[in-house]
Amino acid sequence: MPANTSHTTRVDGVDRTYRVHLPAGYTGRSPMPLILAYPGHTESPVSFERYTGLSGLPAVVAYPDGLLGTDGELSWQGAPYSSPKADDIAFTSAILREVRATTCVDRNRTFAVGRSNGGGLVSMLACRLPGQFAAYAIVNGAFYDQSRPYCPSSKAPASIIDFHGTADPVIHYNGGTRLGGRYGPLFDVVASWARRDGCVTTPLQVPINTVVTQFDWPLCSALGSEVAHYRIAGGGHVWPGSTTHGQPGVSDTVSATPLIWQFFSRHPLTL
């Protein structure tokens, strides 16, 4: 069986494409975890796969392709520049349906990962597709105000791990405006996820090193739910732990991919 296969599916009259990576050791006889991975604005899935190292995990990984937005760049639903033809919630549902029908994956260990604009979409998936994912990971997330109609208030619990640098020049930690769209302070967004899960108001603060602090909300009324946020002092708009963006910086004092996998491993679906 080939390690990588390309697929096309039709969503609301639009042809959408994605690629599925099968890990080493996949036999098709034992269900494996499934990860859907959404790159950031302007990024290709191939580049995203390379610098995150997600395909090195013991999981089937699906890499969806975004649509060209109003700025001519690849993007996802919910951003001010996204394509008016994009229904990435329906696209995600189609990927889940097709991959589950053709690949031996575990419905209770299905996860979503996204960076920047892709992270904003992953946040929307957490409330629009409850019960389809066990946990979510977001890096440098862009949570535009205009995406809120797509992601109404929801009581569905969501275990989320998040990473963001305080010196991110693209999506500012304390909120701002980008390409015509406003987004709020990052910590406020994370705290709203914790409130939705019924977690304790004040998170635990754990210094990971001199520049990284982990904020963790582990005690939630939604049994088994957890929200974790890694604040990287001086960190930029990069994937922590990946040196493909140039010289290592403060963001690389932690490595997002193994931390995400550890988080996913302790949060199977319990609905």
Token code pair at residue 22:
């099968």
Calculate the average pLDDT of the chain: 92
Q: What is the pLDDT of residue 246?
A: 62
- Domains of the chain, by residue range, sit at 4-162+237-265
Token code pair at residue 57:
């995990």
Q: What is the pLDDT of residue 200?
A: 86
Question: Contact at 8 Å (CB) between 74 and 17?
Answer: no
265 has a pLDDT exceeding 90: yes
Q: Which residue has the higher pLDDT, 230 or 146?
A: 230
Q: What is the pLDDT of residue 150?
A: 67
Torsional sign, CA 168, 52, 116, 80:
positive
Over residues 151-164, the mean pLDDT reads: 81
| Assigned fold of 4-162+237-265 | Rossmann fold (3.40.50)
Strands 135-139 and 105-115, how do they pair?
parallel
| Residue range 51-71, pLDDT digits in tens | 999 999 999 999 999 999 999
| Residue range 72-120, pLDDT digits in tens | 999 999 999 999 999 999 999 999 999 999 999 999 999 999 999 999 9
Q: Which residue has the higher pLDDT, 45 or 246?
A: 45
CA pair distance 127, 224, nearest whole angstrom: 17
The 8-class DSSP code of residue 203 comes to: P
Q: Which residue has the higher pLDDT, 223 or 194?
A: 194
CA pair distance 125, 128, nearest whole angstrom: 5
